[in-house]
Structure 1
Amino acid sequence: MRSSIECIPCNINSLIRILKKANIDSGKQEKLVKSYMKRLLELETFEMTPVHMGREIRELIIKFFGEVDLYREIKDSSNELLLSLYDELKTEVMKSPDPIETALRFSVAGNIIDFAPGHEINVMKTLRDSIRKDFAIDHLKALAEDLRNAKNLLLIGDNCGEVVLDKLFLEVISVPVKYFAVRSTPVLNDVTTREAKLIGIDKVATVIESGTDAPGTLLDKITPEFRKILYNSDVVIAKGQGNFESLSEIDRDIYFLLMTKCDIVSSYVGVNKGSFIAMKKEARLHPSRL
């Protein structure tokens, strides 16, 4: 999907939150925000995805601070919180009438664990509510059936914390070959190889880097290895709003699992803000097998 004018203040506010969380002094905050605003004026902002716009924030941070992970502490604490609940959640999944669907519901509910949009986070309430919550778009049964017939799966990860629930889902399903894709560099609170291995996802799936250095999956940045897996997997699941924004126009069957966190994405999909989405997008033609 393409950016809209509302994406500009959203990304500026995201940068400000990052700088405040990192305790950057006010003088540098002002300098970075002005630099970002100047950069936006140079770009064809409405010809790019919101994720491309967000990528410019990382470029700016690297320019000023070098290769840093400003969210490492937040990522680790959110993973530790969900890991402390893992056994209890797994018990809930395994005793449910449909463990695959329950694990998927937890995985979608986990998408609320995102510090970038600035919304209020109530993890436990959201997880409890997800068991009985109606999805605004609900293709969960179709996804569960596709998973039962699949020989291989690619799950494209999103935020830390949430990824612990992705691990639970990957552990529950019996697809023979499973890939879990992560960002190639630290971006906001998104999962990288470091966090995926710390929580043990590499024990239930093959962890691969997408090649992207943005809060989504940019097709013009992905590696040849990831591209091959992306277009040849029987089932592809993309988690979170950033992956939806960057992959919504891909020409292959793909499932999007997310909670809509802004008015623009909610309007684009045709749901209310804060809705749970499990949506299958079908290829326009037949995807190229690379």
Structure 2
Amino acid sequence: MVYMNPFLDHVCFNCVARYAYAVGGKMGRTHREKLEISARLMEGFSRALLESVDDYVELCRAIFHHTFRVIGEDVDPYAEIKERSMEAAKELMPLAEEYVAAGDQLERAVKVAVVANALDFGTGVYRVSLDEFRSRFREKLEEPFAVNHVQQLRDDLQNSTSVLYVLDNAGECVLDRLLIGLISRRRHVVVAARGGSVLNDATLEEAMRAELDQYGVLITTGLRLPCISLEADAVFLSHLREADIVILKGQGNFQSYYLIDKLRDKPTYYLFVPKCQPTSRVVGAPVHSLVVLKRK
């Protein structure tokens, strides 16, 4: 049988198992509770992997709906790490501002935004500590792009009046402020956060705390999913269809490209760091590399 989902691979079991382990560890008060939560999560995740092999977004929906059934709808296991990652990003902001001011501002603001995507604690096969991110931030800014469509973005921005910017991680969105602020000087910008807490992704609350409302209109996808779905909020989907340019941050948003392609015939850009081998293969860039990819 040939599967249509290019992102599904045997390594995905490692990723979902680590996610089940992490959530069980965060939510369980005793060893037994941790074991039971992780086991219940893995039971549902295994079923979802077998039933949704052809559709990445449906797989995401099944995994996270099952997660919330197990741990509760109002629980945010990543609240603490989101807080800490936002503080780490704020500490790095003076360095990021200095870096952007010292050269080609658009290219450097894009570089900061892509490097910031490494501040991710929600991917099972990818690990980074806050201390490691702080220590390697300057070094990572000097790394060349593995996929570099910055010039195409520059050209497209010259002919645009509206931009939709879709956020990814909470800490990352603090550093996104430099690129969003630069783009917003001459264009109407709409910034979209997740519709509810999922992994360490930015919600409307984190977007407000990052002061992104100073540069654009804040909306949400309307869904508690770390990807883009055609069942998203109607206002969000309207902006996704109609914006002159759409910029999407992160691997989860990139993994939704096949649905986004159905909605758009205008420039769409993906800014992210590939976190796993399946995504690396699809984009044609090494794991942990810096990607600015244009589709359409």
Same fold (TM over 0.5): yes
Task: Provide closer, same or farther for how the CA distance between residues 29 and 54 of structure 1 changes in structure 2, counting only shifts above 3 A.
Answer: farther
Equivalent residue runs for 1:42-81 within 5 Å: 44-49=51-56, 51-66=57-72, 67-81=74-88
Question: Equivalent residue of 1:218, what SS?
Answer: coil
Deviation at 1:166, TM superposition (A): 0.8
The TM-score, its normalising length taken from structure 2, stands at 0.87
RMSD of equivalent CA atoms = 2.0
Task: Provide closer, same or farther for how the CA distance between residues 181 and 126 of structure 1 changes in structure 2, counting only shifts above 3 A.
Answer: farther
Cα deviation code 1:81-129 (max 9, x no counterpart):
2123323422321232x10110000000001100122413422344323
1:182 aligns with 2:182: no
What amino acid is aligned across from residue 119 of structure 1 in structure 2? Answer: R
Question: Equivalent residue of 1:168, what SS?
Answer: helix
What amino acid is aligned across from residue 205 of structure 1 in structure 2? Answer: G
Match of residue 170 from structure 1? 180
Equivalent residue runs for 1:126-275 within 5 Å: 126-173=136-183, 174-219=185-230, 221-251=231-261, 252=264, 253-275=267-289
Deviation at 1:12, TM superposition (A): 2.1
Deviation at 1:28, TM superposition (A): 2.7
Deviation at 1:176, TM superposition (A): 2.0
After the TM superposition, which of the residue ranges 54-63 and 147-156 deviates more from structure 2? 54-63
Cα deviation code 1:203-233 (max 9, x no counterpart):
11111101221112222x2111111100100
Cα deviation code 1:26-65 (max 9, x no counterpart):
323333333333333265221220x543444432342233
Match of residue 288 from structure 1? none
The answer on whether the counterparts of 1:157 and 1:181 sit within 8 Å (CA) in structure 2 is: yes
Task: Determine the C-alpha separation between the residues in 2 that align with 1:88 and 1:163.
Answer: 16
Runs ≥4 in structure 1, deviation > 6 angstroms? none
The answer on whether the counterparts of 1:113 and 1:162 sit within 8 Å (CA) in structure 2 is: yes
Match of residue 35 from structure 1? 40
Equivalent residue runs for 1:100-139 within 5 Å: 100-117=106-123, 118-121=126-129, 122-139=132-149
Task: Determine the C-alpha separation between the residues in 2 that align with 1:113 and 1:74.
Answer: 10
**Percent of aligned pairs with the same amino acid:** 30
Structure 1, unmatched stretches of 5+, are 283-290
* Count of aligned pairs: 279
The answer on whether the counterparts of 1:11 and 1:54 sit within 8 Å (CA) in structure 2 is: no
The answer on whether the counterparts of 2:24 and 2:35 sit within 8 Å (CA) in structure 1 is: no
Question: Equivalent residue of 2:142, what SS?
Answer: coil
Question: Equivalent residue of 1:180, what SS?
Answer: strand
Match of residue 83 from structure 1? 90
Cα deviation code 1:225-275 (max 9, x no counterpart):
111100100110111111111224522331111111101111122222111
Question: Equivalent residue of 2:190, what SS?
Answer: strand
What amino acid is aligned across from residue 60 of structure 1 in structure 2? Answer: H
After the TM superposition, which of the residue ranges 170-179 and 196-205 deviates more from structure 2? 170-179
Structure 2, unmatched stretches of 5+, are none
The answer on whether the counterparts of 1:177 and 1:205 sit within 8 Å (CA) in structure 2 is: yes
Equivalent residue runs for 1:8-23 within 5 Å: 8-23=13-28
